[in-house]
Amino acid sequence: MKHCILLMLAMLVVALPRQARAYDIQVGGLFFNLNPDGKTVTLTYETIILPALDAPAPTARGYVGNIVIPSSIKHGGKTYTVSAIDAYTFNCNPQLVSVVVPSSVQTIGESAFGQCYSLRSVILPDNLTEISDRMFAESGLQEFVIPGKVKRIGSHAFNSCSLKSIAIPNSVTDIGQAAFGACRWLQEVKLGKSVKTIGDAAFSICSQLRAINLPSSLKEIGDKAFNECASLTDVTIPASVDKVGDGAFNNCQALGKLTVDKANKTYDSRDGCNAIIETASNTLIVGCDASTVPSTVTAIGPEAFAGCSGLTRADLPASVTTIGYRAYYYCRNIRALSLPESVRTIGSYAFVGCDSLETVTIPNSVTTISYGAFLHDDHIKCLTIGSAVTLIDTWAFKGLDAVTSLTSNIRDVSQVKMGEDVFDEIDKSACTLYVPTGTASQYKAAPQWSDFKHIVER
């Protein structure tokens, strides 16, 4: 074990930038590297501080307390301008409280203030144009002002911070992946007028965020951008948006109103459905507890209703042919599932976590039951499989240990392609398999079906 730990630490040291292992100049308790231009320096740190050790290395305490970075330093009879802050410079300094950055600094490297748990204040220069990746991730920041010239907020920039509110200036066009993810105390976000892209999971798990006003400049909302924003109540998609990612508003339990601007050419919320529909394909891509499915919708998209814990029914119109991947994933309170005879495909994990379902009837129109479609729905007692099924994929009904009655309307079971462990964990001794008249011998000879001890024709 000791050798493994030493190897891991050695690999981490190799992975860090060269400047992390040494410095050229020490002035006033700060550490700098000379830049190739001979006129400027980059603030760095004395020695590596490993997060795994949860403390500075034994030869140095790292940066502590309140730090004011000078705009220039003197060394060897020369004056150098402080033009940059190196990646990881203050990273994992547990006693750092505040930092003031001078206007001479033009760039700040990734993770510069990451995991500074006591950090309360950082003042950045007005001329800064980017908040780098993970710059403040897992820090103790509760308040912060983003400079007015910043154009990009990097990936995970404020992830898991203690921020309560944030104002995105009008200069910002891109908010990176998970930029504010897991900011569990974040209650208010003001988006500037120039934001075009909200990255994947950008505000995911901001559980206290109650409202978000999406600007008319917005073009793209990434996958799971607002996933698990449990307090979010109202969302309006502007006319400018041409991409809403999968699961963008998953697990938003308080979400009661979903609308799309009528001028939007890509999406709509027709018939007051409280949902987001992709207009060209007639696919409902985002729903909520208060949604209805219009009669013109032909598909329920991936993760469309995932995490809608207040949904008690899944009533679909006769126009729907496809139920997508994780479409009703962990809709724990759905008690009634009404699938019309138009449905042909049930996607992977479509109804996983629907713990209140007791009866499921798969209509005769369905040809494909995908991987894990009803995996571990262990309250289902009665299950009916329609006559047109040609594929039942791996684990489609695995873990349905409460099933006592399984009815199959398939007349030629030899034509059905079966994945692995389709009926795994169903009690084959206690569950009766009902099959069409004259087909019992087929079922008794067919792999997986033959495992049932009671096969009855009717």
Domain CATH for 312: 3.80.10.10
Residue 365 placed within a domain: yes
Whole-number Å distance between alpha carbons of 61 and 317: 66
> Average pLDDT by consecutive 10-residue portion of the chain (458 residues)?
41 43 86 97 81 45 91 96 96 94 98 96 97 97 96 98 97 98 97 98 98 97 97 97 97 95 98 98 97 98 96 96 98 95 98 97 98 97 98 98 98 98 98 98 98 97
What pLDDT, on a 0 to 100 scale, did the predictor assign at position 21?
Answer: 47
Residue 330 placed within a domain: yes
Question: For the chain, what is the domain count?
Answer: 1
DSSP letters for 122-154: EE--TT--EE-TTTTTT---------TT--EE-
Q: What b/e readout covers 301-321, taking b as 16+ CB neighbours within 10 angstroms?
A: bbbbbbbbeebeebebeeebb
Confirm if 343 and 322 have CB atoms less than 8 A apart. yes
What pLDDT, on a 0 to 100 scale, did the predictor assign at position 46?
Answer: 85
Residue 357 placed within a domain: yes
Residue 252 placed within a domain: no
Residue 71 placed within a domain: no
Identify which of 209, 349, 225 has the alpha carbon closest to the alpha carbon of residue 276. 225
Q: What b/e readout covers 195-217, taking b as 16+ CB neighbours within 10 angstroms?
A: bebbbbbbbbbbbebeebebbeb
Whole-number Å distance between alpha carbons of 212 and 191: 8
Bridge-based pairing of strands 197-198 and 234-237 is unpaired
Residue 324 placed within a domain: yes
Whole-number Å distance between alpha carbons of 367 and 389: 4
> For residue 412, which amino acid is it?
D
Residue 334 placed within a domain: yes
In the DSSP assignment, the letter for residue 305 is: T
Q: What SS3 class is residue 426?
A: coil
* Domain span at 323: 298-458
What pLDDT, on a 0 to 100 scale, did the predictor assign at position 48?
Answer: 62
Residue 280 placed within a domain: no
